[in-house]
Amino acid sequence: MSTHQVLDHVDQYLQLGRDYECSDVHLATAYPPAWRRFGQLQPIWNDHQPLTPQDTERLARSFLGDAEWERLQVKGDIDFAYSASNGRYRASCVKQRLGYDMAFRVINTTIRTIEDIGLPLEHILPLTRYQNGLVLVTGSVGSGKSTTLAALVDFINRDREDHILTLEDPIEYVFESKGCHVNQREVHTHTESFARALRGALREDPDVIMVGEMRDLETIQLALTAAETGHLVLGTLHTGNAPRTLDRVLDVFPTDQRDQIRIMVSESLRGILSQQLVPKADGKGRVLALELLVNTPAVANCIREGKTFMLPGVMQTGKNVGMITMDESLRRLYIDHQITRDELIFRADDKAQMKEFLES
Q: What is the pLDDT of residue 4?
A: 61
Residues 207, 203: Cα–Cα separation, whole Å? 11
User: What are the beta bridge partners of residue 184?
Assistant: 166
Virtual CA dihedral for 47, 50, 52, 56, nearest 10 degrees? Answer: 100
Could you confirm whether domain 10-107 is CATH 3.30.450.90?
yes
On whether the CB atoms of residues 269 and 308 are closer than 8 A, the answer is no
Q: What is the pLDDT of residue 38?
A: 85
What is the tens place of the pLDDT at every residue in 247-266? Answer: 999 999 999 999 999 999 99
Q: Tell me the pLDDT band of 109, cut-offs 50, 70 and 90.
A: confident
More confident site: 310 or 141: 310
Q: Mean pLDDT across the stretch 189-202?
A: 88
Q: How crowded is the C-beta side of 319, counted as CA atoms within 13 Å?
A: 4
Assigned CATH for 114-359: 3.40.50.300
Domain boundaries, the chain: 10-107, 114-359
Mean pLDDT of the chain: 93
What is the tens place of the pLDDT at every residue in 265-287? Answer: 999 999 999 999 999 999 888 99
Q: How crowded is the C-beta side of 292, counted as CA atoms within 13 Å?
A: 22
On whether the CB atoms of residues 321 and 269 are closer than 8 A, the answer is no
Q: Is the pLDDT of residue 336 over 80?
A: yes
What is the tens place of the pLDDT at every residue in 295-328? Answer: 999 999 999 999 999 999 999 999 999 999 999 9
Q: Mean pLDDT across the stretch 173-190?
A: 91
Q: Is the pLDDT of residue 90 over 70?
A: yes
Query: Which are the contacts of 230, defined by CB distance < 8 A and separation ≥ 6?
Result: 131, 132
Q: Tell me the angle at which helices 258-268 and 297-304 cross, rounded to the nearest 10 degrees.
A: 170
Query: Which are the contacts of 304, defined by CB distance < 8 A and separation ≥ 6?
Result: 262, 263, 266
pTM confidence score: 0.87
Q: Tell me the pLDDT band of 2, cut-offs 50, 70 and 90.
A: very low
- DSSP class of 197: H
User: What are the beta bridge partners of residue 83?
Assistant: 88
Q: Is the pLDDT of residue 1 over 50?
A: no
CA-based nearest residue to 67, from 189, 169, 190, 187: 189
Query: Which are the contacts of 110, defined by CB distance < 8 A and separation ≥ 6?
Result: none
- In the chain the beta strands, taken as DSSP E runs, fall at 24-28, 34-37, 40-43, 77-84, 87-95, 100-107, 133-138, 163-168, 181-186, 208-211, 232-237, 269-279, 286-294
Query: Which are the contacts of 300, defined by CB distance < 8 A and separation ≥ 6?
Result: 266, 267, 269
CA-based nearest residue to 101, from 26, 158, 167, 37: 26
On whether the CB atoms of residues 201 and 226 are closer than 8 A, the answer is yes
